[in-house]
Amino acid sequence: EVQLVTSGGGFVQPGGSLRLSCAASGFTFSGYALSWVRQPPGKGLEWVSGISGVGGDTYYADSVRGRFTVSRDNSKNTLYLQLTSLRVEDTAVYYCAKGSAIFGVVVFDYWGQGTLVTVSS
């Protein structure tokens, strides 16, 4: 059974930093691209960042490029998102999502439960 367990969310002031983690199991971790997708309270889905299966290719939404960094440790079956220079508008539930292929623009066939990041003064 595929499982994606997300952690690391919390309350942070504007300008602060957080690191999110997503621990995966139930599939060959290095064989699939992964992404982070966020959802502000009461709003729709926004793709944030993606990484290929072997980690050589990374992609970012314009809204987070230069502030967020995606990475993965295939030896630990874990995906990360380092969030820096946080803004109030980054407040959202952050989901990790498993892609349908090892690289490229994918669909998401499994999702984690999400972790809430709240940015406020």
Partner 1 sequence: EIVLTQSPATLSLSPGEGATLSCRASQSISFYLAWYQQKPGQAPRLLIHDASNRATGIPARFSGSGSGTDFTLTISSLEPEDFAVYYCQQRYNWPITFGQGTRLEIK
- Interface residues toward partner 1, by CB under 8 A: 35, 37, 44-47, 50, 59-62, 95, 100, 104-109, 111-114
Sign of the Cα torsion 71, 97, 23, 74 reads negative
Nearer to partner 1, 23 or 46 (CB): 46
* Cβ proximity to partner 1, 17 vs 28, nearer residue: 28
Nearer to partner 1, 15 or 26 (CB): 26
Looking at residue 64, what DSSP letter applies? T
- Give the whole-angstrom CA distance, residue 59 versus residue 54: 14
Minimum distance, C-beta of residue 24 to partner 1, in the bound complex (Å)? 14
Are residues 103 and 35 in contact, defined by beta-carbon separation less than 8 angstroms?
no
In this structure, are residues 97 and 112 in contact, taking their beta carbons and an 8 Å threshold?
yes
Query: Which residue, 13 or 100, is less far from partner 1 as judged by CB?
Result: 100
Q: Is 90 helix (H, G, I), strand (E, B) or coil?
A: helix
